[in-house]
Amino acid sequence: MFKNNCLKFILLSLSFICLNVSAQKDIDTKVQKLLKKMTLEEKIGQMVQLNGFWDFTGPAPKDGDGAKWKYDALKSGKVGSVLNVRGVKNVRQLQEMVVNESRLGIPLIFGFDVIHGHKTVFPIPLAESASWDLDAMENAARIAAIEASAEGLNWTFAPMVDISRDARWGRVMEGAGEDPYLASEVAKARVKGFQGKDLSDDNTLAACAKHFVGYGFAESGKDYNAVDVGTSTLYNVLLPPFQACIDANVRTFMNAFNTLNGIPATGDDFLQRDILKGKWNFDGFVVSDWGSISEMQAHGFAKDLKDAGIIAANAGCDMDMESYAYVGHLKEAVEEGTVAEALIDDAAARILKVKFELGLFDDPYKYCDTKKEKELLYHPDHKKAALDMAKKSIVLLKNEGNLLPLDKKQKNIAIIGALADEDNSPLGNWRLGTDNNTAVSFLEGFKKYTDNYSYEKGVDIFLKAEDFLHEVEVNNTDKSGIDAAVALAKKSEVVIMVLGEHGYQSGEGRSRANLDLPGLQKKMLKEVYKVNKNIILVLMNGRPLTIDWEAENIPAILETWQLGTESGNAIAETLFGDNIPGGKLTMTFPRTEGQVPIYYNYLNTGRPGPIDLVFWSHYTDETNAPLYPFGYGLSYTDFAYDNMKVVNNGNNIQVSVNVKNTGNYDGSEVVQLYIRDKVASVSRPVKELKGFEKIFLKKGENKTVNFTLTEKELGFYNNRGDFVVEPGDFDVMVGTSSLEGLSDSFEWK
Ligand code: NOJ
């Protein structure tokens, strides 16, 4: 019976692979046939992406929006894609124009930043990653794709899989944190979610792994800044999440604004040709970032726009987003021989291939169904999923004296902080697809549980927090509001302070040099603390913050990020114990900006110390330890680890551990496995995550969790970029965070 089933499975898988291969061949044949009909100008046209006529997501587009020449370009087949056009009516209008009026009627592909939800907004990606729940993250991306495709879109510029160790960088909110292993798993889940089971279905989006590569390592955390990394970091830290996207069959890549070791990523043929399209055999296409081809002039890498276009095309950048270098200059470059026509053919073929895969040639309007658009946007099931994801993303940082969860009959609660009344900020920064003010605010969620509270806004945090395009103005001067907050706190039994950053304070172009609570919030918190120490701090923020004083003094701290549409409901359920927090940080929280970049998987120095003299690697005015480490997060219940076993099978290592819920609530735990390769031909980190499992245990219940370590987990990339597995001794640790756990060791032969 078992054998029969096995055979059936193998035959089914084989026939699936054969079908896939033949479908791919079929598409390749169609692409080649179409290419033969195309003029050079039309092929270059496929490589051009223009910003649409409504929103924009970078410096103002050329000639503003709606310029006549854009329509002419579209009608004459000089454009292959547009971004920032959405809504069935708008998409259909442009698609019809191109399909009916251009010579070959090649449909456009419509790109948009569908980052964490579309109409229904999910938590910011950094928050989602704190759930460590891959299925939930895949589902979140699936739903984002369902809604975005119902609005006519078929390509998302996500997932962002940049690793970052520097919370000053505003875009840490868009990634999965600091760890390459976890980020790779998350990347795969998100790609699968966006692309669905079959890209030709009418509810899928082609995904885009971005920003290739190094963007998250911007020097001093300042967006767009130069990146300098050595080979080991490039191969072992930055590249793996991108490679994971390839494993998940991601159809597009976006290159990056930054220079990597002196070469703009957009013009780097080593990255795009040698690694991505060579070594990794990527057969989708690469789009530039917004204007990044043109920006190679400012980098001092191209002498003019034409030169920039030539460099980018030769380096393997297939599509030009908003630089106008390809539309303006590529034809001339081919004619004079500075770009080979074969490269144009290759780029156009890649783009056409993805269009075929999406089924756009079968039906260019397959994403244009107004009935579906009405039915699916903000669908109640999507809200349910967003609530589930939001609850899983919350991280409990501190809970002294079990202040949380709150008793549902608790009287006399003070709620303080402008963010508590915000229904816009929880949507985060990347939420162009949704409508403003559509989040459930903290207060709205809280009200559903109890009337026993009073609210004071306290100090204004923001003078202006307008939109995606402009700076947030923080209130650093006007202290009015503090007195009222203090007065309320004085007469209350428990105080909930809702503090943090506005959703528009993280994201692109939003680096911060200070990582503390913006404006006068800390001052207000300290004043309130003087009259009432029974404080629950609910943080809303898009990055790790330096909350050293808060961590020392405030008894309970709940990290709620920007949780999206269902924010207030998720937080209220958590405060009142209907949701037991189980999230774990995926980025280290520093104590002070001076510790940044700070991350758990660092290389040991030759002088790790501590020793009695000064000659060891440390600060004289701050400890080396982070405030909260990677993988950290508490629960209302407790988990005990015991009985760790390590069995060396020669070709793999089996590690098992028993985890018991010893507390008073049912709850989930993320069991994490870390290794240390003790001696290698390249220094290896003091710890590296190599496995995790999220388990749910009823109170009193226990479970054995098993991990298998193989060459894949034990090897690393050497400084030639080769993956090697070296024999030797390893430490292994299994536990509740990167800091705490049971450990053992083994020898790999
Ligand atoms: C610039 C951002 O870096 C990129 O991530 C985004 O997809 C594009 N703008 C398009 O909006």
Pocket test for ligand 1, best of 153, 223, 432, 508 (most atoms within 8 A of CB): 508
Output the DSSP codes for 578-621.
Answer: SS------SSPBPSSGGG-S--SSPBP-S-----SSS-SS--SS
CA–centroid distance, residue 161 to ligand 1 (Å): 13
Report d(CA 11, CA 5) in Å as an integer.
10
Q: By alpha-carbon position, which residue is closest to atom 3 of ligand 1?
A: 289
Instruction: Please give the distance, rounded to the nearest whole angstrom, from the Cα atom of residue 360 to the centre of ligand 1.
Output: 24
- Cα(601) to centroid(ligand 1), Å: 29
Residues contacting residue 576 through CB under 8 Å, at least 6 positions apart = 405, 406, 408, 449
What the block records as the tokens of 499 is 């503090």
Q: Is the pLDDT of residue 8 over 70?
A: no
Question: What pTM was estimated for this model as a whole?
Answer: 0.96
Maximum Cα interatomic distance, the chain, rounded to a whole number of Å: 80
| Pocket test residue of 50, 82, 83, 113 for ligand 1, highest count of atoms within 8 A of CB | 113
CATH 3.20.20.300, domain 46-51+79-374, yes or no? yes
Beta carbon of 58 within 6 Å of any ligand 1 atom: yes
CA dist., res. 258 & res. 228, Å (int): 10
Cβ pair 99, 360 in contact under 8 A? no
Superfamily of domain 389-595: Glycoside hydrolase family 3 C-terminal domain (3.40.50.1700)
Token reading at 22 = 């033949």
- pLDDT beyond 90 at 70: no
Whether ligand 1 lies within 6 angstroms of the CB of 113 is answered as yes
Provide the residue ranges of all domains of the chain, joining segments of one domain with +: 46-51+79-374, 389-595, 639-748
Mean per-residue pLDDT for 62-82? 84
Please give the C-alpha separations between residue 400 and each of 344, 474, 534, 539, 580, in angstroms, as whole numbers. Answer: 63, 31, 10, 16, 16
pLDDT of residue 56: 72
Instruction: State the DSSP code for 400.
Output: G
Q: Which atom of ligand 1 is nearest to the CA of 111?
A: 10
Q: Which atom of ligand 1 is nearest to the CA of 84?
A: 11
Burial label for 306, CB within 10 Å (0-12, 13-18, 19+), is middle
Ligand 1, atom 4, residue with closest C-alpha: 289
- CA 749 to ligand 1 centroid distance, Å: 46
Alpha-carbon distance of 260 to 287, in angstroms, equals 17
Q: Ligand 1 mean position to 710 CA, how many Å?
A: 37
Structural element, H or E, at residue 208: strand 208-212
Return the closest-CA partner of residue 126 out of 238, 216, 250, 259: 216
- The alpha carbon of 57 and the centre of ligand 1 are apart by a number of angstroms equal to 7
User: CB-hemisphere CA count at 13 Å for 379?
Assistant: 18
The atom of ligand 1 lying closest to the CA of 158 is 7
pLDDT tens-place string over residues 111-158: 999 999 999 999 999 999 999 999 999 999 999 999 999 999 999 999
Alpha helices in 196-291 (DSSP H): 231-233, 240-247, 269
Strands of 252-255's sheet in order across: 208-212, 252-255, 285-287
54 confidence band (pLDDT: 50, 70, 90):
low
- How many whole angstroms separate alpha carbon 112 and alpha carbon 385? 22
For the record, the structure tokens of 601 come out as 């998987």
pLDDT band for position 64 (50/70/90)?
low
CA distance 701 to 697: 6
Ligand 1 pocket test target in 225, 254, 506 with most atoms within 8 Å of CB:
254
Q: CB–CB of 544/421 below 8 Å?
A: no
Q: Is the pLDDT reported for residue 680 higher than 60?
A: yes
* Enzyme catalytic residues: 289
Distance CA 561, CA 125 (A): 10
- pLDDT tens digits for range 634-671: 999 999 999 999 999 999 999 999 999 999 999 999 99
Give CA torsion, residues 144, 146, 147, 149, to 10 deg: 110
For ligand 1, the distance from its centroid to the CA atom of residue 65, given in whole angstroms, is 17
Tokens of 641: 């680890």
CA-proximal residue: ligand 1, atom 11 (nearest): 57
Our answer on whether the CB atom of 290 is closer than 6 Å to any ligand 1 atom is yes
User: What's the confidence (pLDDT) of residue 2?
Assistant: 43
- Band of residue 22 on the pLDDT scale cut at 50, 70, 90: confident
Separation between Cα atoms, residue 661 and residue 649, nearest integer Å: 30
Would you call the peptide bond into 241 cis, given omega within 30 degrees of 0 as the criterion? no
Q: For ligand 1, say whether the CB of 110 is within 6 Å of any of its atoms.
A: no
Residue among 157, 253, 257, 258 to mutate when testing ligand 1 (max atoms within 8 A of CB): 157
Ligand 1: does its nearest atom lie under 6 Å from the Cβ of 157? yes
SS3 at position 288:
coil
Taking the domain 639-748, which CATH number applies?
A: 2.60.40.10
